[in-house]
Amino acid sequence: MKDLVSIVIPVSNSENTIRRCLKSVAQQKYKNTEILIILNESFDKSERYIREYLYKFNNFKLFKISKRNVSRARNFGIRKSKGKYIFFLDSDDLIFESTINDLVNYNRKKNFNLLISAHRQTTGSKRKKYDGLKKNCKFNKKNLIDYYKYFLKYPDIYTAFVHCWSRIYNRKILLKYNIAFNENLNNLEDVNFNLKFINHTKKIGYLNQVTYLHSTEKIHLRSSFDIKSNIIKMIKVTKLNLKKFFLKIDKKNLNKYSSLLNHYLIWNAISYVIRISNNFSSIIKNLLILKKIVYDVDIQNNLKHYIQFAQYDRIIYYGLKSKSLLFLLICCYMKYFKLSTK
């Protein structure tokens, strides 16, 4: 008997993408699956399209929850799941016919509690996304420490532990240690979830095969671009959890990671200011958040640790360094015009 895989799909106002997402799930070669669709305060035609699949397939299940929160939806899916493995899928993304089959078959030989695979974007560049890795591997203490060191320095390149999709999690580990997404975070929730998980297992592997198609179409409309007023707290919570991870796995050398952790703090602050600068109305809407960021003491004290690699982020860096909201706004508008002309 093949192991049951629970595919958890949070859905909120996804009428333009949910059909193609569910079609990719329905076409899976691996048949022993349960599809848990969590409808999360959706006001468009998403439910109508979902019900088309409920009528056709017995393994498709629909649940409705209140309050739009992707972490809450995923946690609900974990609680309702019955599979040996859990696979998270976003409602605007796609998987290949062989995705679940390839992951389960590979893991049958390796017996990982967390098996991560490569992904590719559905828009823009069609190149393979390696997550900083170019071959199959098993993570051990040394290469896990090394990988997270690279992640702190290059967070947008070493992304294997940034997402919760394109991988299978052993459900028993999730339940045994009560591992769940932080529902108070609407950004960086996947990073923190993965940190919790890897703190409770040494069986972590990487499959150098693209099994997941991640959509970047209209990415600025996603909830992750809806920056909340507590964004600074979210970044600091993530930095603290990363510090705890290094404290547990490499306590003797904790001081070596201090500068990198502070760099990561600033990188995220700059990253979210860039997201805010994505369009003119967003800059106006998030004026108070920009004010909090530019005047935050920790951010100002740690700007010296930031490692600049390219021109694209320097505008925002100097805006933060000025300690002036007015100058930061000018930098945001400059960034907006640069983004809008690409």
What pairing do the DSSP bridges indicate for beta strands 5-11 and 60-65? Answer: unpaired
Q: Residue 127 in contact with residue 53, Cβ under 8 Å?
A: no
Residue 218 vs residue 88, higher pLDDT: 88
pLDDT at 290: 93
Q: Let me know how long the chain is.
A: 342
* Residue 186 · residue 194 · CB < 8 Å: no
**Of all residues in the chain, what percent carry a pLDDT higher than 90?**
75
| pLDDT at 125 > cutoff 70 | no
Indicate the range of 52-61, 106-115, 274-283 predicted with least confidence: 274-283
Classify residue 225 by its DSSP letter: G
Question: Pick the residue with more confidence: 334 or 192?
Answer: 192
pLDDT, tens digit (0-9, with 9 covering 90-100), for 301-324 = 999 999 876 665 788 999 999 999
Whether 5 and 32 have beta carbons less than 8 Å apart is answered as yes
The CB-side HSE value for 46 (13 A sphere, CA atoms) comes to 23
Segment 162-188 mean pLDDT: 96
Rounded to whole angstroms, how far apart are CA atoms 211 and 167? 9
Q: What is the mean pLDDT of residues 134-149?
A: 96
Q: What is the mean pLDDT of the chain?
A: 91
- Per-residue confidence (pLDDT) for residue 314, from 0 to 100: 85
Of 131 and 224, the structure prediction assigns the larger pLDDT to 131
Of the pLDDT bands very low, low, confident and very high (cuts 50, 70, 90), residue 170 is very high
DSSP string of 264-286, one letter each residue = HHHHHHHHHHHHHTTSHHHHHHT
Question: Under a CB-based contact definition with an 8 Å cutoff, are residues 248 and 199 in contact?
Answer: yes
Spell out the long-range contacts of 233-237 with Cβ–Cβ below 8 A and sequence spacing 24 or more. Answer: 234/185, 234/186, 234/187, 234/188, 235/188, 235/265, 235/268, 235/269, 235/272, 236/265, 236/298, 237/182, 237/185, 237/188, 237/192
User: What confidence tier does 226 reach under pLDDT thresholds 50, 70, 90?
Assistant: low
Q: What is the pLDDT, as a whole number, of residue 311?
A: 60
Is the pLDDT score of 42 beyond 90?
A: no
Encode pLDDT of 286-298 as tens digits: 999 999 999 999 9
What pLDDT is recorded for position 229?
80
| Residue 324 near residue 308, CB atoms below 8 Å | no
Report whether pLDDT(219) > 70: no
| CA quadruple 207, 208, 214, 219: dihedral, nearest 10 | 110
Alpha helices (H) in the chain, listed in sequence order? 18-26, 46-56, 70-80, 99-110, 141-153, 171-176, 189-198, 231-249, 258-276, 280-285, 287-295, 297-302, 314-321, 325-340
pTM of the model: 0.94
pLDDT (tens digit per residue) in 54-102:
999 999 999 999 888 999 999 999 999 999 999 999 999 999 999 999 9
Q: How far is it, in rounded angstroms, from Cα 128 to Cα 191?
A: 21
